[in-house]
Structure 1
Amino acid sequence: MRMKLAAAAAMALSVMPLSASADGEVNIYSYRQAYLLEPLLNAFEKETGIKANVVFAKKGLAERLEREGRNSPADLVMTVDISRINDLVERDLVASVDNDTLENNIPENLRHPDGKWFALTTRGRLIFASKERVEEGEITTYEELADDKWDNRICTRSGKHPYNIALISSMIAHHGEEETEQWLEGVKDNLARKPQGGDRDQIKAIAEGVCDLAIGNSYYYGNMLNDENQRPAAEAVRLVFPNAEGRGTHVNISGIQLTKSAPNRDNAIKLMEFLSTEEAQRIYAEANTEYPANPNVSPSGQVAEWGEINPDQLSLQEIANNRNAAVKLVDRVDYDNL
């Protein structure tokens, strides 16, 4: 029911006309769903008196900003995945923000060097393992996914999906292109089926016995546990936080960016500051079973029960910079074709 209401709210908000310069307002373009942002923006308005207007979309926000140019009413963009976030930087659609509050609240590796994006939440790219067929501690690193012992036992979504591209980009940063290519070939050789579906489908495949291991974002597991119909599949897997004893688990982000056109710049920066605070970080992370970006805020609820995550401290901007190389590797090993 909540998802149906969220979809209805998103549809309604997506056609809401935005005021380009009204006092006491801030305008947001967002790929994030309505139910995730509503409690945050309500709290912001209550604290500041500034009303947040939102356009929700599934795709095309960058193109919309380009069409609108300097006349765009958008002050902020809220989205997910470092590749999508960096795309706005490369298109020169976002502005730098030099702000002490944001720099104090958001770690250096989770923000752009020039303030062109800031993470708000993180999510681990985890290994899901069958509780029945994989012993605890039997796999502990991303690198081990290429071991022969996992032949015909791994499921993943498309190698070209942004979440997997980000993981491959991080492997390039740690190991170089040549070694990462060998690793990716090994993972492909161990696939139980052609890459397909989303992260939830990989968990379902483990529950159905199609494979024993899968790669997916932590919040999908949390969302499945909160869904009566999908809970049995989620309960069939064990979470593995790869490389927890070493460099740390690869994380991706949801983030926020100030547009170059921002007609309500001051209000927009106030909202950015608010979203980095401990209060807002708790609200935002809990809404989608994610981790707060602010290190002073501990995970809570269900996420805390999973155990402590040791996130890779690699700069997300470095991961973004390796994106093209990662895409080429996926094509070179023909990952999606078995």
Structure 2
Amino acid sequence: MKHLILAALASVSLAALSACAGQSESTAGKTACAAPAGVVNVYTSRHYDTDLALYEDFTCTSGIKVNRLEADADALIERIAAEGEYSQADLFVTVDAGRLWRAEQAGFLAPVESQVLATRIPAALRDPQNRWFALTTRARIIVYNKAKGAPAGLATYEDLAKPEFKGRICMRSSSSAYNIALLSSMIAHDGEARAAAWAKGVAANFQRPPEGNDMSNIESVAAGECDIALVNTYYLARFDTPEKRKVLESIGIIFPNQATTGTHVNMSGAGLVKTAPNRANAVKLLEYLGSDKAQQLLANGNNEYPAATGVAPTSAVGKLGAFKADTLAAAEIGRNEARAVELYNAAGWN
């Protein structure tokens, strides 16, 4: 009975996939695309239009049709685990190092031996056993109200817990994957005791209880409702428009820990599913996603940084300037996330 149920699930999965293949109407007749050469099924939690253009380009150059199923990352992890050997998933794509680590821990990702990926994706941005690879990265930075001036003595994440910043910090909930990943990295760098003290210190410095998201907290800082916030770089880049540039011009930025560990980065990434029915095609797609062209499309779709070595950002985040990134292995971030949640809860950081 179990096998029958899983087989049915697999059938539904394949039927539910939305095809992003072949020539689009805008390119038909203009570009010579490769002859059909099979399919690849992508289970993804990325939801950007540029990803569709990316898959279309891969299909055109390789002839491999991309079938795409989009859902929340945790739901996809549960689905692939439930489908088991009957899963039609070839490639799992998601955001956040912790989710990649959870997929690896669920046991359904397979190692990929690829010289292309080993050369292009830095070791810190891939699983030690090559079960997943980063596609893009984003940095978690400090923003401050420019009219009030750069806060004296604020250069690191650890500084945010200083008593002099009491009543000055706005933050989103500790349940945010971005905040969890940051504290996970601090556990790795500073040890659990210091990380716990930091969480308590920052909670004591809140101007108000955690609320909103990075976008709303950027606006709060720009309006002077609070002085300081932690945000992801790609949210900041979304204000680089004529309608919103006034907000951007009202804040200053700090890339934390430049003299120590480097600024914390998180990622989106992909891994080969162990039971992939189209393994060779999935590896071809994974290698394509590490190419210069694909890296730019992936990064520009959400104003992120390319993960591949030697590919410079061309989206709005490039205007924020160069910075030293933390090279802590992403696997360490995933490994510490459960404990990070416990420390946040103990600190009263809602």
Q: TM-score, normalised by structure 2?
A: 0.87
Counterpart secondary structure, 2:148: coil
What does residue range 1-338 of structure 1 map to in structure 2 within 5 Å? Answer: 15-16=16-17, 24-59=38-73, 60-135=75-150, 139-226=154-241, 229-336=243-350
Counterpart Cα distance in 2 of 1:84 and 1:319: 10
In the TM superposition, what is the alpha-carbon distance from 1:97 to its structure 2 partner?
1.1
**Residues 237, 14 of structure 1: alpha-carbon distance in 2 compared, 3 angstrom cutoff:** farther
**Residues 283, 34 of structure 1: alpha-carbon distance in 2 compared, 3 angstrom cutoff:** closer
Kindly indicate whether the alpha-carbon contact (under 8 Å) linking 1:14 and 1:57 is maintained by their aligned counterparts in 2. Answer: no
List 4+ stretches of structure 1 deviating above 6 A.
none
Instruction: Give CA deviations for 1:11-52 in whole Å, capped at 9, x if unaligned.
Output: xx994468xxx9521110111014131121122122211111
Whichever residue aligns with residue 141 of structure 2, its letter is L
Q: TM-score, normalised by structure 1?
A: 0.90
In the TM superposition, what is the alpha-carbon distance from 1:211 to its structure 2 partner?
0.8
- What RMSD in Å do the two structures reach over aligned CA positions? 1.9
Structure 2, gaps ≥5 residues long:
1-13, 20-35
Counterpart secondary structure, 1:67: helix
For 1:7, the equivalent position in structure 2 comes to none
Which of structures 1 and 2 has the bigger CA Rg? 2
Kindly indicate whether the alpha-carbon contact (under 8 Å) linking 2:143 and 2:254 is maintained by their aligned counterparts in 1. Answer: yes
In the TM superposition, what is the alpha-carbon distance from 1:136 to its structure 2 partner?
7.2
**Residues 109, 298 of structure 1: alpha-carbon distance in 2 compared, 3 angstrom cutoff:** same
Counterpart secondary structure, 2:267: strand
Counterpart secondary structure, 1:261: coil
For 2:32, the equivalent position in structure 1 comes to none
Kindly indicate whether the alpha-carbon contact (under 8 Å) linking 1:98 and 1:114 is maintained by their aligned counterparts in 2. Answer: no
**Residues 89, 38 of structure 1: alpha-carbon distance in 2 compared, 3 angstrom cutoff:** same
Counterpart secondary structure, 1:225: coil
Aligned length: 320
**Residues 14, 152 of structure 1: alpha-carbon distance in 2 compared, 3 angstrom cutoff:** farther
**Residues 14, 131 of structure 1: alpha-carbon distance in 2 compared, 3 angstrom cutoff:** farther
